[in-house]
Amino acid sequence: MWSPRSYIVILCLFAVALPVFLEATDHKKEKRSVECKGDNCPKSNTVELNPFRPKSCVEYYVPGKTTCGIYRLFDDYGNSFPAYCDFTSEPGTAWTLVMSYNQKNRGLPQFSKTPFKFDAPVNENSQNWNVYRLGLSRIRSLAAHSTHWRATCSYPSHGVDFTDYVRGNFKDFNVVDFLGNGECKEVEYVNIRGHRGVHLTAKFWQAENTLSLHIDSSAAGCEFNPTAGAVVSEDNFGFYAAINHKFRCTRGEGSTTQWWFGSHL
């Protein structure tokens, strides 16, 4: 049997030992917290490294090494899709194809009368040059992760030689959200049938259910004036109600038009 005196002695010893134990424990915790910093700290099993989810072709771009072709991109909702990337036509810039069609298909509503801000996909998971357009979620995602846009003529056969070509900056002219008739918009470079302009305004049209984005080179009024040699109401880079066979995009039924979004490296 323990005597009352024994209980008192044990309680006194416990009272003395407990603070020492707690102090030692706190010191170990403090020491661990000092030693464990950044990469030295143990990683939780639930933490995953950020996966590679490129939003545009520029994230794949390695100068001199990356080849043109189909790459996997992700929209802003995390959905993946195949897209054609051009890394070589303009050094230091990567371009993602948004739309391409030939003259035989110019009358389809996706190409003739649907502005970029409306959803009108065709073959968006099967890139080709003759009848292809991305859906709106992909277009908006690419625009949000691009600085520039451009239009080319017959890229598969001619590449980019800056003939019958236009390029602009989203900051100056947002081609996705623009709706208007004959408005002067800033471009970085434009060439139509040999008429060239650098950092000036050109006249653009794009209207809901009526007009896809295009320039009418027969219309004067902006800084860029390609009216010499134009046919009446000539359409360039889209719409194509009136065509000029001297313009590369409309030279023949197999001629193609491309729209791209891109960024400098």
pLDDT single digits (tens) 33-65 = 344 433 444 444 544 466 899 999 999 999 888
Q: Is the pLDDT of residue 21 over 50?
A: no
User: Are 138 and 75 within 8 A, CB to CB?
Assistant: yes
Answer whether residue 85 is part of any domain: yes
Predicted TM-score (pTM) of the model is 0.81
Residue 51: predicted pLDDT: 84
Domain count, the chain: 1
Confidence of residue 83 (pLDDT cuts 50, 70, 90): very high
Q: Hey, which residues does 263 pair with through a beta bridge?
A: 94
Structure tokens at 152: 């080319």
Answer whether residue 201 is part of any domain: yes
Answer whether residue 62 is part of any domain: yes
Structure tokens at 1: 């049997």
Neighbours of 114 (CB within 10 A): 20
Quote the mean pLDDT of the chain: 88
Answer whether residue 24 is part of any domain: no
Answer whether residue 41 is part of any domain: no
Confidence of residue 28 (pLDDT cuts 50, 70, 90): very low
Tens-place pLDDT, residues 167-196: 999 999 999 999 999 999 999 999 999 999
3-state secondary structure of 18: helix
Which of 217, 258, 236 is CA-nearest to residue 89? 258
Residue 64: predicted pLDDT: 84
Answer whether residue 257 is part of any domain: yes
Instruction: Over range 130-150, report the average pLDDT.
Output: 98
Answer whether residue 91 is part of any domain: yes
**If 0-12 CB within 10 Å is exposed, 13-18 middle and 19+ buried, where does residue 28 land?**
exposed
Domain limits for position 94? 57-264
Residues 240, 235: Cα–Cα separation, whole Å? 5
CA atoms within 13 A on the CB side of 33: 6
Q: Which amino acid is at 29?
A: K
Answer whether residue 127 is part of any domain: yes
